[in-house]
Amino acid sequence: MAEYAKPRGTADILPDDALEWQFVEKTAQQLFESYQYREIRTPIFEHTEIFERGVGDTTDIVTREMYTFTDRGGRSVTLRPEGTAGVARAFVENRLYGGPLPAKLYYNGPMFRYETPQAGRYRQFYHYGVEVIGTDDPRSDAEVIEVADRLLRTMGIESFGLELNSVGCPVCRADHKVRLLEHLEPVRQDLCTDCQERFEKNPLRILDCKKDGNNPTVLSAPTITDSLCDSCASHFAAVKMYLDAMAIPYQVVKTMVRGLDYYTQTAFEFVESSIGAQSTILGGGRYNGLIRMLGGPDLPGIGFAGGIERLLLARAAHGLKSASQNHPDAYVIALGEAAREASVRVLHALRQAGISADADYSGHGLKAQLKTADRVGATFALLIGDDEVKSGTVAIRNMATKEQTSVNEVAVVATIADHTGRQG
- 379, 332 contact by CB (below 8 A): no
Detail the DSSP E strand segments found in 134-171. Answer: 161-166
Asked whether the CA dihedral 118, 275, 287, 178 is positive or negative, the reply is: negative
| Distances, alpha carbon 39 to alpha carbons 34, 91, 116, 175, 338, in Å | 12, 12, 31, 39, 51
Query: Which residues of this chain interact with ligand HAM, rule CB under 6 A?
Result: 82-84, 113, 115, 120-122, 125, 127, 129, 131, 260, 280-285, 303-307, 309-310
97, 297 contact by CB (below 8 A)? yes
Nearest to residue 309, comparing CAs of 269, 278, 268, 270?
278
Q: Partners of 105 in the beta sheet?
A: 38, 131
With CA atoms as reference, report the closest residue to 203 among 225, 234, 178.
178
The Cα 244–Cα 227 span in angstroms is: 23
CA distances from residue 283 to 127, 236, 420, 423 in whole angstroms, order as listed = 11, 17, 43, 43
Torsion region of 65: left, alpha or beta (phi above 0 gives left; psi -120 to 50 gives alpha): alpha
